[in-house]
Amino acid sequence: MTDIDPQAVVRTLRVQAKVTPGGADALTETEKVIRRFVWLPEPHQFDVLTLWTAYTHLLTRCPELPIAPRLGIFSGAPGSGKTRALEILSRIAANGQDVGSLSAASMLRIIGAAASGDEPGSYPVTLFPDELDRTYSAHSAGSQDDLTIILNSGYKRGAVVVRAHKDKQQEVIRYPCFGPVAFAGLATAKLPDALITRTFLIHTKRARRDERPDSFLPVAHGPDLEKVKSTLAEWAAEAALQITDPADMLSLLLDDRITAVTDGRDHEIWSCLFSTAVLAGGVWPKRCLAALQAAQDDAADRVDGSASARLLGALRRYYASRPAHMWPIGVSKEDAASAAINLDPLTFERFGGRDEVRAEDVGALLREHGLKAVRVRTAHGRSYGYRWTDIRDAWERALPPLVENDEEPGEEAEETAGSLFRQ
């Protein structure tokens, strides 16, 4: 007979008692309206959008909720419904503002104006900037630093950005920057790693003709969305009363069901959605955990973030499944560049505005992970490159773990990898 932790039982009962009537129905109606106008390739992605939208309403009613996770919607091609998704979400999220492009200065002014308001539920504001690939691209290096600072810092309640006073140089102004943000862009966006860890990433693609959702006309369908928004706001106001006690809020955020499968930054963002699901009740806690599992599985197969992380991901996907005795001792910079171009052409064929990533670029990218080029034996003889033991250590530290797969790799994949690097 297993030992029962009395404190765990108390926490579970406390959490179950916080289910707010009508919450499950409110989330179900929210999901329905999102599915009506937005197409996504995976069912669990709708759960993430639904729970994130509901959570924005909780943030306006629960001043002690500490985190405002970001939501990012990306695709490899235009016309995939990213802008439509932002438009729909901006109309049902709490204090949503569809702002198009967004500068750091305008973001601070919008958030500051909302923070100074006295009306209950008017803060924080939820921002929806589009075309983030224009900001975070190889051609805009350095121009996005201020925006990145705000997006990263504004993730936690109480965060401020300090700026010098325009006229009084010895004084500073503290601008509040807390609030949820949902953004969209092409997959070519080179998002900072720190922002990636704060973001629920939704990867979508073009819908086939038979998959396309309904067209959205604000005049015809706006009232339907407004009704959903009002329902969420009313539910959030009731749910907030259930967690006025800090102990009750901690019971939600530290629920054993979410702490057992997440840690660190992952726990911070997923505990927000799970708390929303628990307060709503019904099937939503199970759906939230299923969405988390699907996201973790997807992360194991997909590397997002900086070019250096994507390079490590490309190298791992070429070599991680190959028997150790088939590996050369190391890989040259030139072969690493070839692997990156073949496996991730979207990132590396037009790297830095040039034709393709070069050997010297590989050296610069891998230096970000502490790797230095040395003379090693590669598949084509001795050359300057990297020992596989060092690269493996780097990807194990920087990348999410691969999902174990008992199936043997296909012959086509074996031939592709072997043609470049087999001894």
- Residue 200: how many CA atoms within 13 Å on its side-chain side? 31
What pLDDT score was predicted for residue 218? 94
CA 391 to chain centroid:
25
> CB pairs under 8 A, 24+ apart, for 391-395?
391/312, 391/315, 391/331, 391/366, 394/312, 394/366, 394/369, 394/370, 395/312, 395/313, 395/315, 395/316, 395/320
Alpha carbon distance 200, 133 (integer Å) = 17
Which tops the pLDDT comparison, 321 or 56?
Answer: 56
Which tops the pLDDT comparison, 213 or 398?
Answer: 213
Q: What 8-state DSSP symbol labels residue 48?
A: H
Amino acid, res. 75: S
Average pLDDT, the chain: 83
What pLDDT score was predicted for residue 248? 86
What pLDDT score was predicted for residue 102? 76
Alpha carbon distance 2, 86 (integer Å) = 48
Across residues 356-372, what is the average pLDDT?
87
Q: Is residue 195 pLDDT above 50, yes or no?
A: yes
Across residues 28-44, what is the average pLDDT?
96
Quickly state the pLDDT bin for 191 (edges 50, 70, 90): confident
Amino acid, res. 200: F
Angle between helices 43-61 and 284-301 (to 10 degrees): 120
What pLDDT score was predicted for residue 56? 97
Strand partners, 377: 382
Q: Is residue 419 pLDDT above 80, yes or no?
A: no
Helix (H, G, I), strand (E, B) or coil at 143: coil
Q: Tens of pLDDT along 200-256? A: 999 888 888 899 999 999 999 999 999 999 999 999 999 999 888 888 888 889 999
The answer to which of 177-181, 223-227, 298-302, 307-311 has the lowest mean pLDDT is 298-302
The structure tokens listed for 148 are 């990145």
Q: Is residue 306 pLDDT above 90, yes or no?
A: no
Q: Is residue 394 pLDDT above 90, yes or no?
A: no
Q: Which of 135-139, 240-244, 398-402 has the highest mean pLDDT?
A: 240-244
What pLDDT score was predicted for residue 404? 53
Across residues 282-287, what is the average pLDDT?
95
Backbone angles phi, psi at 126, to 5 degrees: -110, 120
Q: Is residue 324 pLDDT above 60, yes or no?
A: no
Q: Is residue 66 pLDDT above 90, yes or no?
A: yes
C-alpha torsion 17→20→24→27, nearest 10: -130
Helix (H, G, I), strand (E, B) or coil at 386: strand
Which tops the pLDDT comparison, 385 or 186?
Answer: 385
Which tops the pLDDT comparison, 296 or 305?
Answer: 296
The structure tokens listed for 72 are 């990012």
What pLDDT score was predicted for residue 101? 76
Q: Is residue 321 pLDDT above 60, yes or no?
A: no
What pLDDT score was predicted for residue 37? 97
Helical (H) or strand (E) element with 195: helix 193-196
What pLDDT score was predicted for residue 132? 81
What pLDDT score was predicted for residue 1? 47
Alpha carbon distance 138, 142 (integer Å) = 10
What pLDDT score was predicted for residue 316? 87
Quickly state the pLDDT bin for 402 (edges 50, 70, 90): low
What pLDDT score was predicted for residue 100? 78
Max alpha carbon distance in the chain (Å)? Answer: 71
Alpha helix segments (H runs only) across 254-387 = 256-259, 264-280, 284-301, 307-319, 333-343, 345-348, 359-367
Which tops the pLDDT comparison, 193 or 410?
Answer: 193
The structure tokens listed for 406 are 């008992």
The answer to which of 94-103, 312-321, 409-418 has the lowest mean pLDDT is 409-418
Across residues 290-310, what is the average pLDDT?
78
Which tops the pLDDT comparison, 417 or 46?
Answer: 46
